[in-house]
Structure 1
């Protein structure tokens, strides 16, 4: 953990335990430097990090102050469960994805990081070498459960996080979405109840629609991200078969759930005999030095199926994922042989060489550094442009910013107006059911700042401001 991150964490704890009240002034940069022993630049970085998270605010020529909303962090959040029996999401997602795929549309709505950051010359060199070998195409080792060497490498990465894993626990898939869908299909039958977070990756909604499942959703907690009280209430009230959760670097919001909450989730899964499919596709895109632990770390009864992939770190063309399937390995392989069959043998062999020679770790370090840099620039630029009634949810990981618009502004309306100007964003309707508020949009912030991005954000802010003006003058 960087020194500035440690200082920011220490200050956050003081705020959250009530030691520093709302609107109280933080020590000046010089005072904090003397107190903590850190440099002025480290203190400034820590304060700016807290400001980006909405924990403090700055007054010109005055200093930094504790933000009002943090005074509410320990108050209970009203629980609001929602039953979604008839889901209709696929057509909406299909239309949206078609609308943003053109090269002349600003890619702020894309789910993938900037391809320029993901492109790795060494990976391409290894791929080219394998492309010349017949054995890279025709080896039977790529069939389910997948290339043994690749599964061993992935298993070793789990072991390094303290999760005992064998290659036989891993099933290679054609990307994370394939892993998630196969896992859900293996664990459910039509009519079963599953649990999702109120705001979640649209693939979960599509899978539930396709399989004829009934969905219970729980609201996000405004501070921790995950509402444990609502989670337990749902497990008590409904015959939940499976949960599909994203707890690290959440898409679209961005939060990562603390370890103590994950531990409690694991206990509740055991108590109520419920399985969990963990969508951890962004697991490598953390900032700093501490990789967040997956729910699998806390799993003592083999109730967690952990899904991830290389597509968000090496590019959408590297559609190779996996599921830590454990006892469900055979069931998932049977389903795989009736659908996607296997991931590309060429890519599997390429990844074995790329990961074996530690090229991946170097690539990840550079990628995280660039994503953090770009996201901070986006945040600062949006703060300058957007009306103060818009709330930017910033978290120190990933490449998304989740923007909360005034309650009277509809995210889908903003999307429709912007797509006419060749600007793509992701409206909250892609991630939430019709039963909840839809005044949110997601922005992809993985791109280097340039005049095109600046122009797109200018149009975005103008469209939002027009709606605010129309409402206030109505």
Structure 2
């Protein structure tokens, strides 16, 4: 049994025995951590489990309270989470993995050495000498017109009609996604997320005061369209936020026929789609996967992407293909991030105008594919036979399924004490207290001796956790 389940069961007994009365306030998360000795993540998961069972409820800025027995709820085939509190989890996780001494298997960014482009550095140096050429360039929304034209051209190369006026340059991919979501929703709206999803989606929903419905991952199609339609029938869904190409953390790419069906469902119910496509260029096969924008005939898809995963974190320039929402996004942008670095925008204009950019992409894909395959085969040799490594031909993440009795947060904490980071599934399943036996590792690095040692430590931690569980039975 998971730690969070044990804690939830203990608290449940206090409620059912009448020790805690209806509408009585529960100890705060931090107080519960101190009282129980469990981590903040464990306590939050326990509270979320009790809330999902209808045993407790939450009030904005007030905490958690015991529910009246008349308000107990039942479970459904999809999950609801009207109160989201993941920012604290993400904050503590990101703080814990910082430092040059940490082996970054938990990092969300690819190996920076692969992203280095001599041509781009040369362009930056030349622009720096001609500072007058960019100091006079307007940096206000919607962004550099020449850069927007080049991005529009790349859409057209995929058969997607695009006008540069429909594109807004942003301060990275997450900024693009946040702006797009804010443009089509209001506080209290219902949105749909995939059950396993990049934690930035949960953070955005929390910040905007949105109610979240999650739909389960489909073992073959990636996204469960039947569950999606059931959720739409039950709740007034305003928008979806999906990652369909090179999914983070699992890695799959949804097939075109599923994307086409999804587009029809969205049109039928007039639901917006915020498409997170920041990894779309990191495919291994010959043809780039289509985005949902290709199937969008009714301007319901706001397509978001970024240069940061292919040029590095310092080139945090993203964009939204916003269509009719371009002007609204610009207004929101003026009240938040305001403007995007004009120097970097000018550099990207020159860089994208050369063939070097596509050569750079081709080189990155080849390196990532080699490294991912090396990691995959090495893990296949050293991991317990009850572990499963999910491999998909794109990106730089491997999604590892541990035996069901294990909790990836325990593996994460154990490895961190050895200066090795991994990403536990708690970051990606904010409301699913049962899917905790997964972890994500970054395999964009060369499989050197130090990375082999780190993976061997991972294997040892998993084996030790299995032994402890068997000994407790």
- What's the TM-score bracket when you normalise by the shorter of the two chains? 0.7 to 0.9
Change (3 A) 1:79 1:118: farther
Q: Which residue of 1 aligns with 2:247?
A: 250
1:213 to 206, 210, 214: 210
Question: What's the CA shift string for 1:223-276, capped at 9, x where partnerless?
Answer: 121111111111111100010000000000000000000000000000001000
Question: What's the CA shift string for 1:157-184, capped at 9, x where partnerless?
Answer: 0001000001101000000000000111
Question: Scaled by the length of structure 1, what TM-score is found?
Answer: 0.83
Q: Which residue of 2 aligns with 1:283?
A: 280
The CA distance in 1 between the partners of 2:76 and 2:261, in whole Å, is 18
Q: Which residue of 1 aligns with 2:270?
A: 273
What SS does the aligned partner of 1:382 have? helix
Q: Which residue of 2 aligns with 1:372?
A: 369
Q: Which residue of 2 aligns with 1:162?
A: 159
How big is the shift at 1:135?
A: 3.1
The CA distance in 1 between the partners of 2:453 and 2:290, in whole Å, is 38
How big is the shift at 1:79?
A: 8.0
The CA distance in 1 between the partners of 2:138 and 2:292, in whole Å, is 29
How big is the shift at 1:331?
A: 0.6
The CA distance in 1 between the partners of 2:254 and 2:209, in whole Å, is 29
Q: Which residue of 2 aligns with 1:327?
A: 324
**Pair 1:115-2:112 in alignment:** yes
The CA distance in 1 between the partners of 2:154 and 2:400, in whole Å, is 34
The CA distance in 2 between the partners of 1:362 and 1:89, in whole Å, is 39
What SS does the aligned partner of 1:129 have? helix
Q: Which residue of 1 aligns with 2:79?
A: 82
Alignment of 1:128-167 (within 5 A): 128-167=125-164
Q: Which runs of 4+ in 1 moved over 3 A?
A: none
Q: Which residue of 2 aligns with 1:39?
A: none
The CA distance in 2 between the partners of 1:412 and 1:135, in whole Å, is 51
What SS does the aligned partner of 2:238 have? strand
Q: Which residue of 1 aligns with 2:445?
A: 447
* Aligned length in residues: 397
Q: Which residue of 2 aligns with 1:472?
A: 470
Q: Which residue of 2 aligns with 1:95?
A: 92
1:463 to 458, 461, 464: 461
**Pair 1:336-2:304 in alignment:** no
The CA distance in 1 between the partners of 2:303 and 2:355, in whole Å, is 23
Is the Cα contact below 8 Å between 1:136 and 1:346 reproduced in 2?
no
What SS does the aligned partner of 1:384 have? helix
Is the Cα contact below 8 Å between 1:141 and 1:148 reproduced in 2?
no
**Pair 1:191-2:180 in alignment:** no
Is the Cα contact below 8 Å between 2:195 and 2:432 reproduced in 1?
no
**Pair 1:310-2:326 in alignment:** no
How big is the shift at 1:140?
A: 3.9
**Pair 1:202-2:199 in alignment:** yes
What SS does the aligned partner of 1:190 have? coil
1:105 to 96, 102, 106: 102
How big is the shift at 1:470?
A: 1.7
What SS does the aligned partner of 2:123 have? helix
Q: Which runs of 5+ in 1 are unaligned?
A: 1-77
What SS does the aligned partner of 1:142 have? coil
What SS does the aligned partner of 1:111 have? coil
The CA distance in 2 between the partners of 1:214 and 1:229, in whole Å, is 20
The CA distance in 2 between the partners of 1:456 and 1:411, in whole Å, is 16
What SS does the aligned partner of 1:443 have? strand
Q: Which residue of 2 aligns with 1:411?
A: 408
Q: Which residue of 1 aligns with 2:53?
A: none
The CA distance in 1 between the partners of 2:127 and 2:78, in whole Å, is 51
How big is the shift at 1:98?
A: 1.0
1:179 to 160, 176, 181: 176
What SS does the aligned partner of 1:109 have? coil
What SS does the aligned partner of 1:276 have? strand
Q: Which residue of 1 aligns with 2:22?
A: none
**Pair 1:239-2:236 in alignment:** yes
Is the Cα contact below 8 Å between 2:142 and 2:167 reproduced in 1?
yes
Q: Which residue of 2 aligns with 1:46?
A: none
Q: Which residue of 1 aligns with 2:62?
A: none
**Pair 1:228-2:204 in alignment:** no
The CA distance in 2 between the partners of 1:277 and 1:79, in whole Å, is 25
Q: Which runs of 5+ in 2 are unaligned?
A: 1-74
Is the Cα contact below 8 Å between 2:195 and 2:214 reproduced in 1?
yes
Indicate the RMSD between aligned Cα atoms, in angstroms: 1.2
How big is the shift at 1:473?
A: 2.9
